[in-house]
A = this chain, B = another copy of it.
Amino acid sequence: MPASDPPDVDLEPEGLELGDFTAVIPAGGMGTRLWPLSRASSPKFLHDLTGQGRSLLQATVDRLTPLAADRVMVVTGARHADAVREQLPELSPSNLLVEPAPRDSMPAIGLAAAVLERRDPDAVLGSFAADHVIGDLDVFADRVRQAVLAARQGSLVTLGIRPTYPATGFGYIRTGEPRHVPGARDVLHVEAFVEKPGAEEAAAYVESGDYLWNAGMFVVRAKVLLDLLGRNHPDMVRTLREIAASPRRIDQLWGSLTKIAIDHAVAEPAAAAGAVAVVPAPFSWDDVGDFASLATLLAESQDHPGVRVLGDASLVVAEDSTGVVAAHGGRTVVTLGVDDVVVVDTPDALLVTSRERCQDVKGVVAALQRLGREDLT
């Protein structure tokens, strides 16, 4: 990699590959607010939520392959391993790590780090959720490349999304002074990770220009990540290295790992210690957290302006309506005179709500569980 500044965008694919870089994709999380499309048995990342013909997981792999070639690693739960193999036939078995049970993001990414460290003591890993949607792929590639350059210097590096509105549903990253990283002109010091703010705080954050959204994307040397983790969770690091050395012991050892997110286990304490850098990432990004979010990713129906359709558009007849219709039940869906409606049709469950109540779909799933209808969740 040359030390002089490379162009921001339009890098040729062959120029993108980073020989020491492995993309790690934690494929977990149910996506509760996308029920009934997303289920515990068939979570969000396995679905094509953009109508592009690829699941979110597949699109994530597609996005990282130009950077990492075949060094793409997926970490998923035992329940979803078969579905992941089916969706990613090109994934080598050694690059699919299967968690016996969910333990949140730290054990998942930590296991990948421990496995990679054994393969290459200098390996840099980049962790990217399996269920986000990202546009501007050459900008994405350039910012990952910059993050890799910074990570090689020993930092924990995150990619922070330039806020487009004062979101209260995401954590933020408070940025500091520029960091000098040869070949990477956008790297900043991270002052702190901050929790999801209230509306006023969020507005002030966006106004200040000093805050980025925390999208949970981390780039770091495998060994550095484990060392940072070891500061507060030395037992976890030891266990993860044992599993990496003796993969067959995972069933025996996995249960002892603390359930904790990488943000809490590593990123926040490391930021407090001044060890985190960020690359502001001006590409479009969406965590597809709910149907309102999903709606923004879909084009308006040609036949029915104002309505965005996911699934088979020929099944949808929308008269005087606006909103989102997911037609996944194989049946005709007719809306008449309803605005900002969300209709999600699946073979065994139907949801009718509004854009503004999308956030509360989580509560519906909880209600179904209380009613003993786990079969639907």
Cβ-based interface call for A137 (8 A): no
Nearest-Cβ distance from residue A292 to partner chain B, whole angstroms? 12
Cβ-based interface call for A273 (8 A): no
Query: Is B332 a contact of A360 with CB atoms below 8 Å?
Result: no
Give Cα distance in the complex from A343 to B338, angstroms.
Answer: 11
Query: Is B349 a contact of A352 with CB atoms below 8 Å?
Result: no
Cβ-based interface call for A334 (8 A): yes
Interface of A is mostly: mixed
Q: What is the number of residues of chain A that contact chain B, defined by CB distance less than 8 Å? A: 36
Known: A343-B352, A345-B350, A353-B338. A363 touches B319 (CB 8 A): yes
> Chain B residues near A368 (CB, 8 Å)?
317, 332, 334
Query: Is A352 a contact of B341 with CB atoms below 8 Å?
Result: yes
Which of B320, B331, B352 meets A338, CB within 8 Å? B352
Known: A331-B349, A343-B352, A349-B331. A337 touches B319 (CB 8 A): no
Query: Is A364 a contact of B332 with CB atoms below 8 Å?
Result: no
> Chain B residues near A348 (CB, 8 Å)?
331-332
Give Cα distance in the complex from A367 to B319, angstroms.
Answer: 9
Nearest-Cβ distance from residue A44 to partner chain B, whole angstroms? 18
Measured CB to CB, the nearest residue on chain B to A318 is B352
Can you list, as one digit per residue, whether each of A326-350 has a CB less than 8 Å from chain B (1) or not (0)?
A: 0001011111111001010111111
Cβ-based interface call for A351 (8 A): yes
Measured CB to CB, the nearest residue on chain B to A345 is B350
Query: Is B373 a contact of A353 with CB atoms below 8 Å?
Result: no
Known: A319-B367, A364-B317, A367-B317. A351 touches B337 (CB 8 A): no
Cβ-based interface call for A376 (8 A): yes
Query: Is B337 a contact of A353 with CB atoms below 8 Å?
Result: yes
Cβ-based interface call for A284 (8 A): no
> Chain B residues near A360 (CB, 8 Å)?
319, 336-337
Cβ-based interface call for A371 (8 A): yes
> Chain B residues near A353 (CB, 8 Å)?
334-338
Query: Is A334 a contact of B349 with CB atoms below 8 Å?
Result: yes
Which of B320, B334, B350 meets A332, CB within 8 Å? B350
Measured CB to CB, the nearest residue on chain B to A343 is B352
Can you list, as one digit per residue, whether each of A111-148 has a CB less than 8 Å from chain B (1) or not (0)?
A: 00000000000000000000000000000000000000
> Chain B residues near A261 (CB, 8 Å)?
none
Give Cα distance in the complex from A350 to B343, angstroms.
Answer: 10
> Chain B residues near A347 (CB, 8 Å)?
331
Cβ-based interface call for A301 (8 A): no
Give Cα distance in the complex from A335 to B364, angstroms.
Answer: 9
> Chain B residues near A336 (CB, 8 Å)?
351-354, 357, 360-361, 363-364
Nearest-Cβ distance from residue A367 to partner chain B, whole angstroms? 6
Cβ-based interface call for A201 (8 A): no
Known: A317-B367, A319-B363, A367-B319. A338 touches B354 (CB 8 A): yes
In the complex, given contacts A335-B353, A345-B350, what are 4 additional A-B residue pairs having Cβ atoms less than 8 angstroms apart?
A317-B364, A317-B371, A333-B349, A334-B352
Q: Which residues of A contact B (CB under 8 A)?
A: 36, 317, 319-320, 329, 331-338, 341, 343, 345-354, 356-357, 360-361, 363-364, 367-368, 371, 373, 376
12 A-B pairs with CB atoms under 8 Å apart are A317-B364, A317-B367, A329-B350, A331-B348, A331-B350, A332-B368, A332-B376, A333-B349, A335-B353, A336-B361, A337-B353, A345-B350
